[in-house]
Amino acid sequence: MTALIRHTNWYGFNALVLENEYLRTVIVPELGAKLVSLFDKRNQKEWLVGPGSRPVKKATYGAQFHEQDLSGWDEMFPTIIACPYPGPGEQHGAPLPDHGEVWSLPWDIEQAEEKLRLRVQGKALPYQLIRTLHYTAPALLEFQYQLTNLGEVSMPYIWAAHPQFVCSLGAEIIFPPHATEVCNTIPASWGWGEPETRFNWPLATGLDGQPVRIDRIGSSSQHKARKFFLMPQVRAAWAGVVHTPVRDWLCLEWDPELVPYLGLWADEGAVNHESVAAPEPTTGFYDSLAVACEKKEVTVLEPGVIQTWTLRVRLGTHEEPFPYNE
C-alpha cells in the first residue's frame, strides 16, 4: 500500500507524517514516538485527543503521565503504573516509572520510506523495542513490534497500547460477545470499588445498586473515569470504538496468543479535558508489572530472544458496517 512520509512541525517538535489517500498519521519521535494525529480524510474526523490548553513539553524521565499534555497515543512499556522491577538479575527492585519508560524517551528513526520504523533502547532494563508503522490497506494502519531482550536473564514485561480516542460527542465501546465480565483495577476512591471488583459487561450494576452502561462514554462534565480489564482467562482479538450518533467507527485487532489481555481506560473529564476512551490490548494483567508477575499473568522474554507482535487499526465511516457483530 503506497504511502508518503514527510516532515512537519507539531507544537515546536519535529514530527513525521505518514499519509495515503484515506488516512493521515502524525508521529513525534522525540516524544516517545507518540502518535499525535490519526485523521480520516473521508469524513474529516480526528480520532486522537489533542493537548487542549495544556502546554506541550518534553517529559523528563520518571515524570508522572497525568502531569503532561495527555494528547495522542503513547506506548506503555515495561509497566503501566510505577512499581519496582520484579524480575531476576541485577535490575531486580529497580524503580519503573509511571506509564513505563518508553513514552518519555526519544526514539531513533531507522526507516522513513513508505514504512516508518522507530527504535528505542531501555534505560531501567536491557532491551530494544522497534515499532514499524505502515498502511496495509487503504484505511488500515498496522503497528509491527519487535522486542529484544539484551540482558542475560529472563525479562517479564507489560506492553500496552494507550490510544486516547476522542469521544466528546458520545461513543460506544464494543468488545467481542464472549466478553461478559470486567474487573476494576484502580483504587476504590475512583468510585468502582476495590481493585478486582467485578462488573457485568456491558450493562453493570453500580455500587449504588443502579444499572449503568459501562460501555458508553459520557460527557466530560461528569469528571469521572474507570479502568477495567477483561478477566484474564478471557481472550479477545479485537475491540472497537463507535461514535454516536453518526456511527463512524474504529477497530483494533491483534493476536490474543501474543497479546493475551485487554484493558479499557475511559475518562469522562476526570483527567483529560475531553472525554476519551482507550482500549488497551496488553501483555499483562493488570497495570502493575509487579502484580502481574505475582499473579503469573504476564509475558516473559528469555535472554537474547526476539518477540514480535502486530496491532492493526481499521477505520470506517458510517457508510460501512462495523467489521464484527455488535
pLDDT by residue (tens digit) across 26-81?
999 999 999 999 999 999 999 999 999 899 999 999 999 999 999 999 999 999 99
pTM for the predicted model, two decimal places: 0.96
Using 50, 70 and 90 to split pLDDT, how confident is the model at 307?
very high
* Structural contact between residues 251 and 240, judged by C-beta atoms closer than 8 angstroms: yes
**Enclosing H/E stretch for 133:** strand 127-137
- Residues 181-225 pLDDT 10s: 999 999 999 999 999 999 999 999 999 999 999 999 999 999 999
Q: Which residues of 224-237 are buried (b: 16+ CB within 10 A; e: fewer)?
A: bbbbbbbbbebbbe
Section 301-305 average pLDDT? 98
- Residues 256-300 pLDDT 10s: 999 999 999 999 999 999 999 999 999 999 899 999 999 999 999
pLDDT of residue 1: 62
- Residues 77-127 pLDDT 10s: 999 999 999 999 999 999 999 999 999 999 999 988 889 999 999 999 999
DSSP per position, 186-239: S-GGGTT-STT-EEESSEEE-TTS-EEETTEE--GGG-EEEEEEE-TT---SEE
Q: Which residues of 30-41 are buried (b: 16+ CB within 10 A; e: fewer)?
A: ebbbbbbbbbbe
Query: Taking the mean position of all CA atoms in its chain, how far away is CA 150?
Result: 24
In angstroms, the CA 311 to CA 142 distance is 6
- Residue 100: other Cβ atoms inside 10 A: 28
Using 50, 70 and 90 to split pLDDT, how confident is the model at 2?
confident
Residue 326 pLDDT exceeds 80? no
pLDDT of residue 274: 95
In angstroms, the CA 198 to CA 229 distance is 10
**Strand 115-121 with 108-113, pairing:** antiparallel
Residue 151 pLDDT exceeds 70? yes
Q: Which residues of 266-293 are buried (b: 16+ CB within 10 A; e: fewer)?
A: bbbbbebbbbbbbbbbbbbbbbbbbbbb
Q: Which three cell numbers stand for residue 159?
A: 506492553
- Residues 221-261 pLDDT 10s: 999 999 999 999 999 999 999 999 899 999 999 999 999 99
Q: Largest Cα–Cα distance in the chain? A: 55
Paired residues of 74 in beta bridges: 162
pLDDT of residue 325: 72
- Residue 189: other Cβ atoms inside 10 A: 6
E strand spans, 102-170: 108-113, 115-121, 127-137, 140-149, 155-157, 160-163, 165-166
Q: Is the peptide bond before 22 cis (omega within 30 degrees of 0)?
A: no
For residue 308, which amino acid is it?
T
Q: Which three cell numbers stand for residue 292?
A: 502481574
What percentage of residues in the chain have a pLDDT greater than 90?
A: 94
Q: Which three cell numbers stand for residue 177?
A: 460477545
In angstroms, the CA 37 to CA 1 distance is 20
Residue 163 pLDDT exceeds 70? yes
Helix locations, the chain, DSSP H: 289-295
Residue 168 pLDDT exceeds 90? no
For residue 219, which amino acid is it?
S
In angstroms, the CA 162 to CA 198 distance is 22
pLDDT of residue 229: 98
- Between CA 33 and CA 240, with CA 132 as vertex, the angle to 5 degrees is 80
Using 50, 70 and 90 to split pLDDT, how confident is the model at 306?
very high
**Residue 318, Cβ density class (10 Å: 0-12 exposed, 13-18 middle, ≥19 buried):** middle
pLDDT of residue 107: 98
